[in-house]
Structure 1
Amino acid sequence: MPRVVDHDERRRQIAEALLAVAARDGHEAVSSRAVAKELGVATGSLWHYFDGFDDVVRAAAAEITRRTDERIRSATMGLRGLTRLDALMREVLPVDDGTRTEAYVVVGFWGRLTALASSPDAGSPTFATWQDGISESLDEAVADGELSPATPKHSLMSLLRSITYGQQVLEVTEPHGAEAHLAVLDSILSPWRA
């Protein structure tokens, strides 16, 4: 009897293999052959699940977003206001080994994803799916008196989104400790603290 393969799970495994190669060996080492080797399969077997290598890249980008969203949900459960915002930002800023490695992988994807922009999920790693969490955290912080009622929420959200990308690039080009990345976050919030 033929073995039943979960198509979606196999696609995820292939995407995860690409991410593992990129994290360990750098983007220049990422190829269909390297991904297949990581999985211990023949290169041709990848094409049972993807139409081409660009589709594997798209799936890897979506996998990064899925992982980040999952971490954020777990880290922020039961929290509110600035405590929730801090927990959320620690999952997207490069402040530990996992998020630093992710920054290297994500920043390395950006150029390629720009070329794939016609795909609806091509921008997944740089699309702030966690923007609602930031918005809700800021609303809670104002309601709880942690931030001033005059806090310019939309401007603050734009700044917070910008620093996540900026701090990822900074970590890749000029690595800093977690304290430096968190200090930028604090300096953005500081003028609005109640």
Structure 2
Amino acid sequence: MPKIVDHDERRLELVDATWRIIARLGIEGATMREIATEAGFANGALKPYFPTKDTLLTFAFSHVFNRTNERIAEVTAGKAGIAALRAFCVEVLPLDEERINEARIVIPFWQKAINDPGKAAIHRDSMEQWHAAILEYLAQARKSGDVSSAVDDSTVAGHLLNMLLGAQIAAALAPHGQADLGLAEQLEAFLALLTR
């Protein structure tokens, strides 16, 4: 009897293998052959799931974003205002090896998005979703009196979002093994400026 294959599970296995290869060898080293070997599959076994490296990278970016959003939903459940904003940011910041590896997927995707309108749209939609969430948390914090900054919420949200994205670049480029870049302290300092 033929083995039943869970195609969604197989795609996620390939994405995990892609992350491991990129973490070790960089995006250029993440060839389809290397990814197949890392995942324990024959090279041709990837084609039905991802016909090209480009389709795999796009799926990997979407998976990073979705996985981050799942974590955000878990940690912000029942929270509002500054508490929700802090929890949101902590899940985006590359504070551990898993999230640093996620940054290593996102950065090559951004590079490709510069000249690819489809990928640029995926990134833009993702950032609009995060910007809206940050705005919601800021509005809650203003309503409760926790934020009194004279800077308007849209500007604050844009600043915070750029800080989070920049942190991903800093973590991905940090020397191997250097996980603590002071990002948690920088976030707390930013939030303190809003709540004074």
Which string of whole-angstrom CA distances, capped at 9 and with x for unpartnered residues, describes residues 35-74 of structure 1? 1001211111111122322111111111111111111111
1:48 matched residue in structure 2: 48
1:189 matched residue in structure 2: 191
| Structure 2 unaligned spans of 5+ | none
Equivalent-residue separation in structure 2 for 1:177 and 1:53 (angstroms)? 28
2:95 and 2:183 in contact (8 A); partners too? yes
Matching of residues 8-157 of structure 1 within 5 Å: 8-119=8-119, 122-123=122-123, 127=127, 129-148=129-148, 150-157=150-157
Quick one: structure 1 residues 128 and 23, their matched pair in 2 at CA, closer, same or farther if it must change by over 3 Å?
Answer: farther
1:93 and 1:164 in contact (8 A); partners too? yes
The Cα RMSD (Å) is: 2.7
Which string of whole-angstrom CA distances, capped at 9 and with x for unpartnered residues, describes residues 137-193 of structure 1? 111111221112755110011001110111222223356765732343344333431
TM-score, length-normalised on structure 2?
0.83
SS for the counterpart of 2:94 is coil
Matched letter for residue 111 of structure 1: Q
1:64 and 1:125 in contact (8 A); partners too? no
Quick one: structure 1 residues 21 and 122, their matched pair in 2 at CA, closer, same or farther if it must change by over 3 Å?
Answer: farther
SS for the counterpart of 1:5 is coil
1:72 and 1:91 in contact (8 A); partners too? yes
1:62 and 1:124 in contact (8 A); partners too? no
Per mean C-alpha deviation after superposition, the further-off stretch among 4-13 and 72-81 is: 4-13
Quick one: structure 1 residues 158 and 43, their matched pair in 2 at CA, closer, same or farther if it must change by over 3 Å?
Answer: same
| Structure 1 unaligned spans of 5+ | none
1:75 and 1:88 in contact (8 A); partners too? yes
Which string of whole-angstrom CA distances, capped at 9 and with x for unpartnered residues, describes residues 73-131 of structure 1? 11212221111111110111122332233223322332134344325775389635433
Quick one: structure 1 residues 24 and 53, their matched pair in 2 at CA, closer, same or farther if it must change by over 3 Å?
Answer: same
